[in-house]
Structure 1
Amino acid sequence: MDADMKRIWAITNAAAGTASEAAEAHVLSFCNRDPWQLQGCTRFPQEALPAAADLDTAEVDIVVVFGGDGTHAAAARHLAGWPGALLLLPGGTVNLAPKRLHGDAHFIDVLDRAASQPLSATPLPFIDVGGIPAYSGLIAGPIAGWVHARERVRAGRWRSLVRAVRFAWSLSFTRRISLSLGVMPRKRARGIVASPPRDPDGEIEIAAIDFRGFWSAMSVGIDWLKHGFDGARGISRTSARSARLAGPARMRVLIDGEEHHLPTPVGIETRTAAVRFVTTRTNDEGRE
């Protein structure tokens, strides 16, 4: 085999936010085009993710993962410790992890860059949330219920949107959670949004969101549906290597878009992944 040839395994989720069967077919076709050679494909979640031993047997160099944040996180957790590299392609609605690695590039452009440039792979910092890795981010507390409403907006499911908004609204005024950072006074909030560090030596970016009345709660909900919590009002921001979240006996938490109910208190801290990720960011994108 040519020294520049790379053996590829593809993990695809055609049901992810902006993915499709046509896009999946394009990815698979590209992965079997010189200088790449497709060794196998897993259609997730219908099929089980490949074991590291199977990838080693097939002498795979790169696992291409096409899907949303949940698919990317599942592959990264499953293949922790595997010596190859993961290439995350944006196929979801948010695509936070791919943006960290490729900027805002379309998945076709990411493939072109990865195949035409010398391979550049790096470990990616993540947030350890009570033992669960979060590669894209964390939303904790009552405001996590608004995610269901936003997903229905994205999918155009307007009939079920009303039920989702009612559910989120009922959660919004339940008990606040608290954020503890070292010796600093606890911060009480309706929810916490945390993003992984930009580099292994960086800190978790933490936003505490709070509101006290009907109109402030309504504005937060509308901002979330339109822009996500990054654009919401009533936010105080900080950063830290670790923190602790406390509240009800079990806390509603969204980790990479997947819902969990974790026993409190919940510790969060920054760690570095035990697997490498292909990055195609340009120097200009890296400075943004």
Structure 2
Amino acid sequence: MTGTERRGVRFGAMMGDNGIWLVSNASSGSNDDAALAALEECLAANDLGLVGRTVFPEEELPTPDALDAAGVECVAVFAGDGTINSLIAGLEGWGGAVLVLPGGTMNLLYQRLHGDRPLEDVISLVASGAAQKRRPGVIRSEHGDAYAGLLAGPGTSWGRVREAMREANVAELAAGTVEAINETLGGEMIACADPPLGRDEGYPLVMLTPRDHGIEVAGYYAGSAAEYLEQTWALLKRNFREGPHDALGTERTLRLTSTQGNPFGVLVDGEQVDAAASVEFVLAACGVDLLATEADAR
């Protein structure tokens, strides 16, 4: 099935005494000890006890068999997009549900499922049975599923700069910034080949954003010094969406191709992979139920 599945099943009160399994990642953007302690207090205040926990990557992510053996029906993940991606992918086909919480830098999947609601309100709604199981649209390719978003092109080298910023690695930041500038200005261009969209010469960076009804396509560019500086600032702020770009429409299937026939880089939910010279991306339904408190998952 392509697109989203509407489960229409309310979730929360049915958990009974089974409790929640919590997955966290201490290296994520907003996931320090104080934030974790506040989260646990909020869960306890809403009578959502913890029956298990995983600290990733020090510990392996829970498997469907392990969760079933523990009688768990809900896994809450308080981490960034990369950890969330790994967890959801590993739970494909599981009969329980995943509660995505804002433990990362941008929390894009959280926003799709819960809008601008604060974490405390989301947990309260889940506990009261007001959340619903959803299978939102995701971007599927040979490189796995993207739940939050996907970036393609030499501009994805900025992902390494972002990691260096997060880890406060000054030497790597300096070297990575120079490399990213060189790759963005002189690297491979990426074209939307099928269907043909946007500029024939392609873009240094193409962003794909999953929605329930299709894949939103945007081509980012830097045609002048002013635009380049604007793009650089947006990238360094970890928000690609603020840079100058062309909105290219919404598609259910899309093929991206490097204009010179060479492999190109891809960031799948922020994680770097190396792609071939041409890759097809399709809209698909998420392989496990996610809990949503918005009327419609975006």
| 1:194 aligns with one of 199, 208, 213 | 208
Contact 1:84 1:276 in 2 (8 A): yes
Q: Which moved more, 1:142-151 or 1:31-40?
A: 31-40
> CA offset at residue 41 of structure 1?
0.8
Distance 1:106 1:183, change over 3 A: closer
TM-score by length of 2: 0.85
Q: Distance in 2 between matches of 1:186 and 1:60?
A: 49
> CA offset at residue 125 of structure 1?
1.1
RMSD, aligned α-carbons: 2.5
| 1:239 aligns with one of 242, 247, 250 | 250
> CA offset at residue 258 of structure 1?
0.3
SS at match of 2:287: strand
| 2:67 aligns with one of 38, 41, 55 | 55
Structure 2 unaligned spans of 5+: 1-12
Q: Which moved more, 1:245-254 or 1:219-228?
A: 219-228
Contact 1:8 1:31 in 2 (8 A): no
Find the counterpart in structure 2 of residue 92 from structure 1. 104
Contact 1:145 1:171 in 2 (8 A): yes
> CA offset at residue 219 of structure 1?
2.8
Find the counterpart in structure 2 of residue 230 from structure 1. 241
Q: Which moved more, 1:163-172 or 1:32-41?
A: 32-41
Q: Distance in 1 between matches of 2:205 and 2:257?
A: 11
Find the counterpart in structure 2 of residue 207 from structure 1. 218
| 1:14 aligns with one of 20, 23, 26 | 26
> CA offset at residue 212 of structure 1?
3.8
Structure 1 unaligned spans of 5+: none
Q: Which moved more, 1:71-80 or 1:231-240?
A: 231-240
State the AA in 2 paired with 1:21: D
What is the correspondence of 1:170-181 to structure 2 with a 5 Å cutoff? 170-172=182-184, 173-181=186-194
What is the correspondence of 1:138-157 to structure 2 with a 5 Å cutoff? 138-153=150-165
1:216 aligns with 2:230: no
SS at match of 1:144: helix
State the AA in 2 paired with 1:102: H
Contact 1:245 1:265 in 2 (8 A): yes
Distance 1:116 1:246, change over 3 A: same
Distance 1:262 1:184, change over 3 A: closer
TM-score by length of 1: 0.87
> CA offset at residue 214 of structure 1?
4.4
